[in-house]
Amino acid sequence: MAMGPGLDGGNGDNLYKPVADINVTPLVDVMLVLLIIFMVTAPLLASGMKVNLPSASAAQPLNPQEPIVVIVAKDGKIALGPDDVDAARLVDAIREKIGDDTTRTVHIRGDKEAAYGDVVSVLNLLASGGLTHIAIVADAKAAPVAPAPAPASGSK
């Protein structure tokens, strides 16, 4: 650390001598700001619509091959990956993506607040279009179990 003026014995030779200490505080500050920026922006890079998946206790991991993802939003909109698509063009758009690979799985991600008819109509479109590898995606959390019906009373 450099000495201040007047601490060198009074001759003034060390008055403008550079400080040789490394100040790490600005480096740490910049790194923390960059870390926070990347932590905030990383979730925004995920493509597709945000849907609230229903829970299913029997949900299992699917084939690790990159699937084709069809999203049915709660308002009935259909998206193929991050892009919105009309129902009439859905099968053609999927066929463009998969090409000749008939083993590619099409994942249906339906919002749990979406109308059941909307999800079934998408399933019907895909099945009638000749796509046979279709999977319905559900959240892997344990689904609430419905209580068993009570035995009928009064029977003897």
What local confidence, expressed as pLDDT, does residue 146 receive?
59
What is residue 34's predicted lDDT score, i.e. its pLDDT? 95
pLDDT at 143: 57
Give pLDDT < 70 ranges for the chain. 1-14, 46-48, 60-65, 102, 141-156
pLDDT score of 121:
87
The pLDDT score that the predictor gives to residue 152 is 62
Domain chopping of the chain, boundaries: 1-46, 68-136
- Three-class DSSP labels, the chain: CCCCCCCCCCCCCCCCCCCCCCCCHHHHHHHHHHHHHHHHHHHHHCCCCCCCCCECCCCCCCCCCCCEEEEECCCCCEEECCEECCHHHHHHHHHHHHCCCCCCCEEEEECCCCCHHHHHHHHHHHHHCCCCCEEECCECCCCCCCCCCCCCCCCC
The CATH number of domain 68-136 is 3.30.420.270: yes
